Amino acid sequence: MALPDGLSNKMKVFQAVNELPVFLKGGPADKILFGITAGLCGLGIVSFVHLVYTMGFAKKKA
């Protein structure tokens, strides 16, 4: 049975021999989404450090 065109095309894309890991093989959209995720993680870490600082060292308001 022949595979649907969409499925066979996807298989070719994701089975292509290159150095890209699976989470980036999908193309530019994958890179953008990964970049957003990484950026938000960075923001989360910075915010966490800021939270620890403000709760640990900032003086309480009178």
Tokens of 51: 């939270």
Region 11-50 residues binding another protein, contact defined as CB under 8 A: 11, 13-15, 17, 21-23, 25-26, 33-34, 36-38, 40-41, 43-45, 47-48
In the complex, least distance from residue 59 CB atom to another protein, rounded to whole angstroms: 14
In the complex, least distance from residue 57 CB atom to another protein, rounded to whole angstroms: 14
Distance CA 25, CA 14 (A): 6
Is residue 51 part of the contact set for another protein (CB under 8 A)?
Answer: yes
* Interacting residues of 14 by C-beta distance below 8 A, sequence separation 6+: 22, 25, 26
